[in-house]
Structure 1
């Protein structure tokens, strides 16, 4: 059986990819990193080999995510610097405590924790509203929050303002894919963009009025309409890959009727 050649990542190709993704010239990167544009060119073509410190400096200037900083280090011949622990690892005990307190403290409103690919990591009890009546195949691990939000058999079939929410979520996902270089997000975008919704005009957009502050999620819940907006929080100064990729999304009522609906036992 013929062996399949595996293409090895080179530091120069990875560096050039991140520089181009950030739309930064060799000259601009050199100025920010306090080296010459010629040296950046040599690094990208393989004519020069970076020091460990240079890899870290360039990654910092380009805003490369921690996961990909490790890839840059390995490609340059160095050991990874940033650990990647499981969320349940003992070392992340303080992180789990913080997450548990935030989720519990946000009751009776929904709150979820997701990873870089929008897979569900944790949720409070109120977030169960998003999985009610959802087909079992969409709830298999890992449960993807973006997929739940737009799938026609999940929230996508309950959103009364689907067109504008879909447009926002897809644009957010596209930007995240471009900024992070995460192939999983690119594949997820393609999947979500392919969903069809019979009878729904996806070209209808809401024109903001003078009283608008943000676009809420308008969710059909039986004979009621729940109107909610969200906030997203991340951990500051992370040096662990897993922690750097966690995000906490909290849902808030955007009108008194929705707040009253959640307040009922």
Structure 2
């Protein structure tokens, strides 16, 4: 889905991205080896940028790959980046590589999601955490945000729900600002409206653990498991689908979690 309109011309679109990134015309010109005058002429439509200039400005403004295609179209050029379905044979190597990566991470949880947080792959560590989740939340397309924050999903099992919910919503807000995606905003409004218990169950263990990042504290069969989240993306993607994939791994944050997962998923 292209979320940036293409009938306004490339100038106003580039200006909107520049203002969103809070970059002046002079600063952008210096980054792109151009002049503030030329940037001004592009934004007002007095000058038509070359294809190379559109891509250069998009790079320095950190415009997402999907939206770079929209900028090129608005400037009168063909899209540069393909959008190949993940199940296309051309994606076999990418798909197999991700599967090997998350399976190699077992017994610890790992998941692959797209720009809408739809689950594209998950390992046994994730499936273990989903035990007992109602079928309607597991129906395709499986959505990681719904699974986590829905009152019938993982939310009742998360001991530090308010903190973790705040982290996830802030993450979505950053993605909305970056991608300017209306479907993503609709998802955000949906999950942000899910009810939150008036009182959290205590998120503090009997003996406080010195975490180095906000942990996910989640119950599983009477035990409290503790994880630190890490997210990886592809470097310099040349395909929209690949650009929007993210691999999240949950690193055990204490020895008890390590021992339990290793005994459960040898």
Question: TM-score under structure 2 normalisation?
Answer: 0.89
1:264 aligns to what?
A: 263
Where does the alignment leave 5 or more consecutive residues of structure 1 unmatched? Answer: 1-5
Indicate the RMSD between aligned Cα atoms, in angstroms: 2.3
Deviates more, 1:92-101 or 1:71-80: 92-101
Structure 2 residue matching 1:264: 3-state secondary structure: helix
2:16 aligns to what?
A: 17
1:240 aligns to what?
A: 239
Does residue 251 of the first structure (1) align with residue 255 of the second (2)?
no
Residues 10 and 139 from structure 1, CA distance in 2 versus in 1: closer, same or farther, beyond 3 angstroms? farther
Give 1:31 shift.
Answer: 1.8
**1:132-168 deviation line (CA, Å, top 9, x unaligned):** 2223332232211122111111111110111111111
Does residue 212 of the first structure (1) align with residue 211 of the second (2)?
yes
Give 1:201 shift.
Answer: 5.7
1:37 aligns to what?
A: 36
Does residue 64 of the first structure (1) align with residue 32 of the second (2)?
no
Does residue 188 of the first structure (1) align with residue 171 of the second (2)?
no
- Distance in 2 between residues matched to 1:201 and 1:41, nearest whole Å: 53
- Distance in 2 between residues matched to 1:13 and 1:190, nearest whole Å: 28
Aligned length: 257
2:166 aligns to what?
A: 167
Asked if structure 1 preserves the Cα contact closer than 8 Å seen for 2:129 and 2:220, the reply is: no
Asked if structure 1 preserves the Cα contact closer than 8 Å seen for 2:228 and 2:251, the reply is: yes
**1:94-137 deviation line (CA, Å, top 9, x unaligned):** 21221111111011121110111211111112211343222333
Asked if structure 1 preserves the Cα contact closer than 8 Å seen for 2:112 and 2:245, the reply is: yes
Runs of 4+ in 1 over 4 A off after TM superposition: none
Question: TM-score under structure 1 normalisation?
Answer: 0.89
